[in-house]
């Protein structure tokens, strides 16, 4: 059975255009879906530079990251004067409006210059550097966000160690990642990459997905109190977003962390 929404109905406008990133974008109704034309390998960081024009398109190739940013912000307390939020692998700075609303000085760390510039334009202090060796001082952060990065590096525990190093005692940690399970590979790669609002094709490598037990054991060794919860997009919101009736899809919690999960914690 085909989709019954108005943007997929017979006669709906369908247009394929090639953007400045060299990729094709299939515009069907209200949603801009990125089609993979690059020959870059999976998880190559250069993909983010190619897709830089997608960062701030709420219905573009990074649409789901807008949803994640809003969900992360719900777990962050309002800032006291002068408090700092360090945003690891900040991309195009999607946490910027949330950090500003909560009152934080927003410091974004990433290797990609196009994304850093987009974040800077939205009030983020941009720092070019690796999440494996962040060029910031110990204990400088009241909040550390490490969203959608643990499943993109060879050593996710090393990133977690940097989070612990950057946090002051009592500081807040917010992470999210994809679990190292067959179910996650099926849903997050084989299915989600071809669904509007899902990740751009080729952006994830299942070989790097996160071992949750290993992550929790490492958090304890690093002095982090961390709990994991499962995540999924709200189905009702997703339909409304697909029809152009909602700008952002809310994330809902699940009893299982076997696909997409978030982690909330503090430094002891």
- The pLDDT averaged over each successive group of 10 residues in the chain (268 residues) is 35 38 44 54 88 92 94 98 98 98 98 97 98 98 98 97 98 98 94 82 94 98 98 95 93 97 98
Cα pseudo-dihedral 71, 77, 81, 85, rounded to 10:
-50
CA angle 82, 143, 262 (to 5 degrees): 155
Residue-range domain boundaries for the chain: 43-267
Residue with tokens 């999976």: 42
E strand intervals along 38-90: 84-88
First-to-last alpha carbon distance for the chain, in angstroms, is: 52
Residue 205 confidence (pLDDT): 95
- Listing DSSP states for 215-261 in one string gives HHHHHHHTTEEEEEEEEEE-HHHHHHHHTTS-SSPPEEEES--SSEE
Residue 93 confidence (pLDDT): 98
Query: 43-267 domain in CATH 3.40.50.150?
Result: yes
Residue 8 confidence (pLDDT): 35
88-98: burial string, b at 16+ Cβ within 10 Å, e else: bbbbbbbbbbb
Residue 198 confidence (pLDDT): 79
Residue 38 confidence (pLDDT): 53
């Amino acid at each position: 059975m085909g989709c019954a929404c108005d943007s997929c109905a017979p006669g709906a406008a369908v247009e394929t255009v090639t953007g400045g990133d060299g990729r094709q974008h299939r515009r069907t109704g209200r949603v801009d879906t990125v089609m993979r034309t690059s020959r870059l390998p999976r998880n190559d960081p250069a993909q983010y530079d190619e897709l830089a024009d997608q960062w701030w398109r709420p219905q573009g190739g990074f649409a789901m990251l807008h949803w994640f940013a809003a969900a992360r912000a719900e777990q962050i307390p309002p800032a006291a004067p002068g408090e700092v939020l360090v945003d690891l692998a900040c991309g195009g700075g999607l946490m910027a409006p949330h950090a500003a609303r909560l009152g934080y000085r927003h410091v974004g760390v990433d290797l990609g210059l196009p994304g850093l510039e987009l974040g800077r334009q939205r009030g983020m202090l941009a720092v070019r550097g690796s999440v494996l060796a962040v060029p910031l001082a110990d204990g400088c952060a009241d909040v550390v966000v490490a969203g959608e990065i643990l499943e993109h590096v060879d050593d996710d525990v090393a990133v977690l160690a940097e989070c612990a190093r950057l946090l002051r005692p009592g500081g807040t940690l917010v992470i999210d990642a994809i679990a190292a399970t067959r179910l996650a590979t099926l849903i997050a790669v084989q299915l989600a990459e071809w669904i509007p609002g899902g990740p751009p094709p080729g952006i994830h490598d299942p070989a790097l997905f996160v071992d949750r037990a290993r992550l929790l054991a490492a958090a304890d060794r690093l002095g982090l109190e961390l709990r994991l919860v499962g995540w999924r997009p709200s189905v009702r919101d997703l339909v409304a977003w697909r029809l152009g009736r909602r700008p952002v899809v809310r994330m809902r919690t699940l009893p299982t962390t076997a696909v997409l999960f978030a982690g909330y914690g503090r430094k002891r």
